Amino acid sequence: MATPQPFKVEIQQSVIDGILDKVRSYDWHEMPDIEAGADRWAYGTDMVYMKELCAYWAKRFDWRAAEEKLNAFPQFKADVDGQEVHFYHVQGSGKNPQPLLLTHGWPGTVFEFLGVIDQLAHPENHGGNAEDGLTLVIPSLPGYGFSGKPKKPLGPKRTAELWNKLMCETLGYDTYIAQGGDWGSVVTGWLGYNHGVDKQGGCQAIHLNMWGLRPGGVLPETPEEQTWAAEAGAVMAAESAYLQLQATKPQSLSYAMMDSPVGVAAWITEKFNTWSDTEGEDGTKHIENAYTKDQLLSNIMIYLVTRTFNTSTWFYRGFFEEGGSEMAPGTRVEVPTAIANFPREFIKFPPRSMVEKGYNINQWTDFKAGGHFAALETGSTFASNVSTFAKQLKG
């Protein structure tokens, strides 16, 4: 069993300068005319906003400040079954804090969780009880950010195996709670399904903020379920081209993206705009109603400084090579499950009647605001919901 080694983010200045040089020298092209009041993101990333973001990036964005935030909590690297895994490991307050495993997705990174670490680990700093503290483990997916790059695509099922070994063998926890959104929801689903304590694994319970792992052979039956299915099909038809590309020919995409920081930024920023709750109090939509430029660029830069855009997209190919995201027909995740249903989620949850066919739901929360990147978007709202679930499990 490999001993975790302390890690600190320290990117050479020459790498930062090389990225910024390419941003400054980007040769801008055309965008279709958009009528006043129409959606400027309808054809893809709005060029007006991209020029604004890139001007800020080149002149004002401070990677060293982002690096300082990334280094504010203990980080490690460990070899887990031949895969190098980067992860945060933050000891929670209280006498016996429960371990909580948090998994991000694409195009996110561990950066998504930085703003909720202290509230989850040290609730006494936020008006809560120290005895409700959670010990946090927050890994970077294989091929993402500061984790090692796999030699070939691997997917969420294999990642769940790695995460269970990380928690139980590398870190020595008997049981743990797992949480995830985007790919993290699929990884977390597999943890509950294949590595739950009911199957002699270590996963005690799961918390999901996206509909990931699906019950096999389950079709919409009620009018409400059928309406959801029709709406979900329309969304996938309009928005899933990126998924098909990354799941089939990710290497072709990589040649353009690995040479263009602006290309990576546009590809990722469009998803943060489309999948998030960007509506302001006055009813108008703007990406900066959900995120600051510094937040967007910090996440993007992690892909760039580690040169992992290409290997991150391999995860989609690995997903399909593993067989997709369906449980065996007639089976479900039996460990206690919490559903955090945010209204602007890209892949919306079906009605509860359908979700219950695949999960042992102990907590279901419908939120009034928030979207796909729940921890980053909603902060304390997300953290409070996870904490509430963890407290229920303690009894």
Give tens-digit pLDDT for 171-220. Answer: 999 999 999 999 999 999 999 999 999 888 899 999 999 999 999 999 99
Q: Tell me the C-alpha distance between 388 and 205, whole Å.
A: 13
Q: Please indicate, yes or no, if residue 28 is contained in any of the structural domains.
A: no
Active-site hit among 46, 132, 182, 277:
182
Over the stretch 102-139, which tens digit does the pLDDT of each residue have? 999 999 999 999 999 999 999 999 999 999 999 999 99
Judge whether 338 and 362 are in contact, CB under 8 Å: yes
Q: Please indicate, yes or no, if residue 35 is contained in any of the structural domains.
A: no
Tokens 């995120």 correspond to 291
Residues of the domain holding 361: 5-23+40-394
Q: Please indicate, yes or no, if residue 231 is contained in any of the structural domains.
A: yes
Judge whether 272 and 373 are in contact, CB under 8 Å: yes
How many of the other CB atoms lie within 10 Å of CB of 278?
20
Nearest to 315 by CA among 101, 94, 108: 108
Q: pLDDT-based confidence at 393, cuts 50/70/90?
A: very high
Q: What is the mean pLDDT of the chain?
A: 96
> Does the global pTM surpass 0.95?
yes
Q: 13-52: string of b/e by CB count within 10 Å (b at 16+)?
A: eeebeebbebbeebeeeeeeeeeeeeebbeeebbbebbee
- 182 labelled catalytic: yes
Nearest to 377 by CA among 266, 271, 267: 271
Active-site hit among 89, 195, 207, 372:
372
- The domain total for the chain is 1
Over the stretch 249-300, which tens digit does the pLDDT of each residue have? 999 999 999 999 999 999 999 999 999 999 998 889 999 999 999 999 999 9
Q: Please indicate, yes or no, if residue 120 is contained in any of the structural domains.
A: yes
Q: Please indicate, yes or no, if residue 29 is contained in any of the structural domains.
A: no
Q: Please indicate, yes or no, if residue 81 is contained in any of the structural domains.
A: yes
Q: Please indicate, yes or no, if residue 268 is contained in any of the structural domains.
A: yes
Q: Tell me the C-alpha distance between 213 and 359, whole Å.
A: 10
Active-site hit among 176, 303, 316, 359:
316
CATH number for 67: 3.40.50.1820
Q: Please indicate, yes or no, if residue 34 is contained in any of the structural domains.
A: no
- 372 labelled catalytic: yes
